[in-house]
Amino acid sequence: MRGREQMKKWLMFCLTLLIVITLTACSPDDKGETVTLLLEKGGSTSKIVYSAEGDKVIEQTSENVLTYDTLGVSNQEEAEAVLGKFVIDYEGIEGVSHNIEYHDDQVIESTKVNFEKADPDQIAELTGAITEGNTGNGVSLEKSIEVLESQGYEVVTE
């Protein structure tokens, strides 16, 4: 049971950070920008890339590489049983693509959110989403980076 609890904590941590929705008013600055954040913890990695115009996030992509050990499972079948529940949450949401690849000893989870197409209210309902303020105002790049850095992520250059 301890492994399952550990896996649930890690999974919720990843999902929370996967879609950090810090929804606040965005500045009118139209300058395009891409910011990449990385977290390495316990043999697993989480990479989030934001594309923004000014402070308004236009697109967010994330890739989480999670070892079976981190998830508290020992093989692909067990990983599918655990993660399958979360895949359903992402189905049918316009502007969101979600994929999980199962490998010999790890899972690679990829998510892409196009905030110009996605409904902010639907995104806010996803497991682990963090929201603040009016969801109609968009996603603040500055606030999102601030939240992720407080969780241990670091801004990296690619």
pLDDT tens, position by position, 93-114: 899 998 999 999 999 999 999 9
Residue range 112-155, pLDDT digits in tens: 999 999 887 787 777 556 666 665 678 889 998 999 999 999 99
How much of the chain, in percent, has pLDDT values that exceed 90? 49
Retrieve residue 73's tokens.
């499972």
The CATH classification number of 2-152 equals: 3.30.1830.10
Residue whose structure tokens are 């992402």? 90
Residue 150 to residue 158: CA distance in whole angstroms? 21
- DSSP 3-state assignment of 153? coil
Retrieve residue 131's tokens.
């929201």
* Burial label, 3 (beta-carbon count in 10 A; 0-12, 13-18, 19+): middle
Mean pLDDT for the stretch of residues 60-71: 93
pTM recorded for the entire structure? 0.79
